[in-house]
């Protein structure tokens, strides 16, 4: 155990976060996301018993968001015509605002199938047990200053 490290961050996840460099991306995937197939060329970390909000909050305590891009946080957009509500996005906004001075301006959206393509390029995919729909999020790492 270490002092000052959120307990939800496993040794495996801490190692991955430390290995990542500037502009590398990590996906926090909800329980419906095809993490193993999308992440077959990256590192997949299983965290099935945890939700995306608690992980996002813990990760952003240690993980700087990229300041060289407008939106280092990307959400999977709802498909047109899909009558799904996304209240979890409000939670994401509040968490990002705690750690990045750009607040919600640091958050962008990516069309669902384009999100899958971007996720395939990620350094790692965290497979969570999040039950909210459209709760997938990509974080792009910045520089530790």
Q: Which residues contact 80 (CB under 8 A, 6 or more apart)?
A: none
Count the residues in the chain. Answer: 145
Structure tokens at 81: 């015509």
Angle, to 10 degrees, between the axis of helix 52-60 and the axis of helix 88-99? 10
From CA 135, how far away is CA 78, in angstroms rounded? 10
Given 24, 30, 57, 66, the catalytic residue = 66
From CA 37, how far away is CA 109, in angstroms rounded? 22
Identify whether 50 is a catalytic site residue.
no
As annotated, the active-site residues are 22, 66, 116
């Amino acid at each position: 155990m270490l002092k000052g490290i959120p307990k939800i961050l496993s040794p495996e996840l801490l190692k991955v976060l430390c290995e990542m460099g500037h502009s590398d991306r990590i996906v926090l995937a909800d329980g419906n996301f095809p993490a193993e197939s999308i992440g077959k060329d990256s590192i997949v970390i299983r965290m099935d018993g945890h939700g995306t909000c608690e992980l996002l909050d813990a990760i952003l305590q240690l993980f700087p968001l990229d300041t060289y891009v407008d939106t280092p946080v990307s959400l999977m957009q709802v498909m047109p015509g899909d009558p799904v509500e996304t209240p979890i996005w409000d939670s994401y906004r509040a968490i990002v605002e705690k750690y990045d001075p750009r607040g919600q301006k640091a958050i962008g959206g990516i069309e669902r199938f384009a999100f899958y393509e971007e996720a395939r390029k990620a350094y790692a995919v965290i497979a969570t047990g999040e039950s909210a729909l459209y709760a997938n999020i990509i974080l792009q790492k910045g520089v530790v200053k």
